[in-house]
Structure 1
Amino acid sequence: MIQRFKKIQRILVLVLFLNLVVAFAKIIYGTLTGTLSMTADGYHSLFDGVSNIIGLVGSFIAARPPDKEHPYGHHKYETVASVFIALLLLYVGFEIFRNALDRFLVQSMPEVTAISFLVIIGTMCINYMVTRYEYRQGLALRSQVLIADSLHTRSDLYVSLSVIVSLAAVKLGFPLLDPLIALLISFLIFRAGIRIIRENSKVLLDMSRLEEQEICNLVMGVEGVLGCHKIRTRGGMGDIRIDMHVLVQPDMPLEDAHLIAHRVSKMLKAEYKDVTDVVVHLEPASPQGSNTKKTT
C-alpha cells in the first residue's frame, strides 16, 4: 500500500512540472499579446499545478496507516483532495466567466501571429500526453486523485481547442469571438468540476459501490453457505469495504463456521480487486429458508 502511494506521488510531481511549463508559456504569451482566451487557458493550466499540489498533500496523508482515531485508515483524504481539486476548477471557471464579461464592455484587439498558434498547439501536445499518462496510471493504481486530476488536465485540451478557434476568429477580424470562446471555456471548466464532485461524493456519502445480487451469487458458491442478506458496500476506488450476513447450518461447529466466513472474505477480495475488507456476520439458517438466497 505504501509503494502504491509513493508511485502516485512521483506521478503527481512529474505532472506538476509539466503543467507549470504549459501554464507559464500560455500566460506569458497571452498577456503580451492581449489574447484573453489564451491567458484564461494559461491560468486554468496554472491551477492544474495547484491541484497537483493538493493531490500530493492528500496522497501523503492517505498513505498513513490506521491509528486509534482512524481505525479504517486515511484513504478518504485522497477523496477530499479530489473534491478540493474540483472546487478550484469551479473558482477558475468563475474568474474566466467574469473576465470574459468585462471584455465585452472594454473591447481591445489581441495580437495574433503564427507564434500564437505554435504556442497553443505545443502546449496541447504536452497536455494530451500528460492526461493519457495520468489517467492510465490512475486506473492501474486505483487512485481517485490521479483520475480526478487527469480529468482536470483533460479539460485543458477542450479549452485549448476553443482557444485555437478564438485565435483564428481574431485573425479573420472577429475579435468579439475571443470573449465568447472564453465564456465557452468557463462552462467546460464548470462541467469538469461538477463531474469530479459528483463522483467523489459517492465515496464521502457512503453510497453503495457494488451490485448486491452479484455478491450474493458469488457467496452462494462457497461450500457451506445456505444464504446471504444485509449486504452493504461502501468506499472508493482501491478501498471498498463489504459487510454482510451469511446463513449456515444451525448445528455447525463454530470452527467450521469461522472457516466459511474466512473463505467468503478471501473469495470476495480475489473477485473484486478494490475490496480491502470484508466483515461476515454468521447466522443459523432456519429450516424453511436453508436453501433460499436472501439479498435484503
Structure 2
Amino acid sequence: MSDRHPHRHGPAHDHRPEHGPAHGHAHHEGRTGTAGLRHRLAHLLTPHSHDSAERLDPAMEASARGMRALWVSLAALGATALTQAAVVAVSGSVALLGDSVHNAADALTALPLGIAFVLGRRAATRRFTYGYGRAEDLAGLVIVLTIAASAAFAAWAAVARLLDPRPVTHLPAVAVAALVGFAGNEWVARYRIRVGREIGSAALVADGLHARTDGFTSLAVLVGAGGSALGWRAADPVVGLVITAAIVLVLRDAAREVFRRMLDAVDPALVDRAERAVRAVPGVREVGELRLRWIGHRLRAELSVVVDGEATLRQAHAIAVDAEHALLHAVPRLTAALVHADPAPAPGERDPHLALAHHLTA
C-alpha cells in the first residue's frame, strides 16, 4: 500500500478474521465515559456481528437482488416487445417496429449486467486483489453505449421517415401497443432504478434510465399515430426527432453517473458522514486522509487517524478497530475499512513521514 498511501506507518487495521480478539475485549478498550456506555447499550439492544463472512452476506444479497431485478425486467420487456411485434405484423407500422426492436434490445442489456453481478460474487485473487466488483462499471459503460446507439437509431429513423413518408394502418391497435410499450418500460425503469439505488449499483440505475428512454420512444409512436389519424403524415418523424433530444438528455445523466463511478467518485456527503463518525470515536484526536471508493455496489474506506503519541500498540489498535466499527455503522454499503493510526506529534519531534517526502514529489 506504500505506493498509494505513503503516510501509513505504525498500527493499521483492516477488518479481517485474523484480527480475532480485537473484536472482543480490545474492541472496547478505548471507550470510556458516556459515549462508551451508550455504545455498549446499543450492542446489547441490537445484536449484530462484523465478521467478514457475515459482512459478505448483505453484499451477496445485493447481488441476488440485482439478478432478480434483471430477470423480472427481462421478462416484462420481453412480453412488451412480443405484444408490439404482433401489432406490427398487422399494421405495418415502421415506427412501432423500431420501438419493439428497441425494447427487445433493452431487454438484452440484462446480459452484461447479469455477467457483472455473477463476476462480482467471485472471491478476490492474487491478481484481482479487490475482487471483480468493477465489472459493473464496465457493464454500465456498455449500457451507456447502448443508449447512445438508441439515440442514433431514433434520429436516423425520424430523418428517414421525413424523407420517405408512409401511411400507417390499424391506428387504434398501434396506439394501444404504444401505451403498452410506455407502461412496460416505465414500470421496468422505476423497478431497476429503485433496486439499483438501494444496492448501490450505478450500472443498474443507468439501465433503468435506458428503459425510461424506451418509454419515451413508445410515446412518440402514440403521438405519431395521433398525428397520422388527423392526416398529418409528418407527425411521426417530427415527434421522433423530439424524442431523440429527450434520449440525449437521459444519455447525459446516465453517462455522468457511470463515468463518475469509473473515476472513483463518491457523494461528498458520504465523506462528511464518515469523518463525523470517526471524530466521535473516543481516542481519535484528528482524522487525516480519508478515501472512499466504490467496487461494484460495495464501498471500501481507507483513512488515517491521529491518536495519543504515548498510547501503546494495543491501545492504538483498539482505537483503529473502534473507528472502523463506527464507519461500518455510519456509512451505508461499506464492507471494509483500513484504518492507520498516527501518533500525535510531540514538541521538537521529527516528522516520521519525512523519509517518504521524496516519493511524494517523484
Q: Normalising by structure 1, what TM-score?
A: 0.89
| 2:314 equivalent in structure 1 | 255
| 1:292 equivalent in structure 2 | none
1:121 aligns with 2:171: no
1:154 aligns with 2:212: yes
Cα distance change on mapping 1:210 and 1:269 into 2, 3 Å: farther
Distance 1:24 1:187 in 2: 27
Q: CA RMSD in A?
A: 2.1
1:16 aligns with 2:69: no
**Mean Cα displacement is larger for which, 253-262 or 37-46?**
37-46
Cα distance change on mapping 1:93 and 1:27 into 2, 3 Å: farther
SS at match of 1:273: coil
**Mean Cα displacement is larger for which, 87-96 or 207-216?**
207-216
1:283 aligns with 2:355: no
Give the superposition deviation at 1:75: 0.8
Cα distance change on mapping 1:257 and 1:223 into 2, 3 Å: same
Give the superposition deviation at 1:70: 1.0
SS at match of 1:119: helix
Cα distance change on mapping 1:177 and 1:236 into 2, 3 Å: farther
Cα distance change on mapping 1:99 and 1:213 into 2, 3 Å: closer
1:223 aligns with 2:279: no
Cα distance change on mapping 1:137 and 1:214 into 2, 3 Å: closer
**Mean Cα displacement is larger for which, 120-129 or 159-168?**
120-129
SS at match of 1:185: helix
Amino acid at match of 1:42: S
| 1:294 equivalent in structure 2 | none
Equivalences, count:
288
SS at match of 2:254: helix
Give the superposition deviation at 1:287: 4.9
Give the superposition deviation at 1:213: 4.1
| Kept in 2: contact 1:35–1:178 (CA 8 A) | no
Distance 1:136 1:233 in 2: 23
| 1:169 equivalent in structure 2 | 227
| Kept in 1: contact 2:181–2:215 (CA 8 A) | no
1:200 aligns with 2:262: no
Give the superposition deviation at 1:230: 1.6
Give the superposition deviation at 1:122: 2.6
| 1:271 equivalent in structure 2 | 330
Selected match of 1:242 from 288, 295, 301: 301
**Mean Cα displacement is larger for which, 264-273 or 207-216?**
207-216
Distance 1:58 1:214 in 2: 29
Distance 2:153 2:214 in 1: 16
Where structure 1 has 5 or more consecutive residues not aligned to the other structure, the ranges are 289-296
Amino acid at match of 2:320: A
SS at match of 1:250: coil
SS at match of 1:175: coil
Cα distance change on mapping 1:160 and 1:236 into 2, 3 Å: farther
- Runs ≥4 in structure 1, deviation > 4 angstroms? none
| 2:162 equivalent in structure 1 | 104
Give the superposition deviation at 1:27: 4.0
Aligned residues: percent identity?
A: 23
| Kept in 1: contact 2:273–2:331 (CA 8 A) | no
1:188 aligns with 2:217: no
1:81 aligns with 2:148: no
Selected match of 2:96 from 22, 35, 38: 38
**Mean Cα displacement is larger for which, 81-90 or 205-214?**
205-214
Q: Normalising by structure 2, what TM-score?
A: 0.74
CA deviation string 1:60-110 (max 9, x = no partner)? 112212111111111110121111011111112212211221222222222
SS at match of 1:107: coil
Give the superposition deviation at 1:265: 0.7
CA deviation string 1:155-192 (max 9, x = no partner)? 22222222211110110011101111122222222332
Distance 1:281 1:90 in 2: 44
Larger radius of gyration: 2
SS at match of 2:109: helix
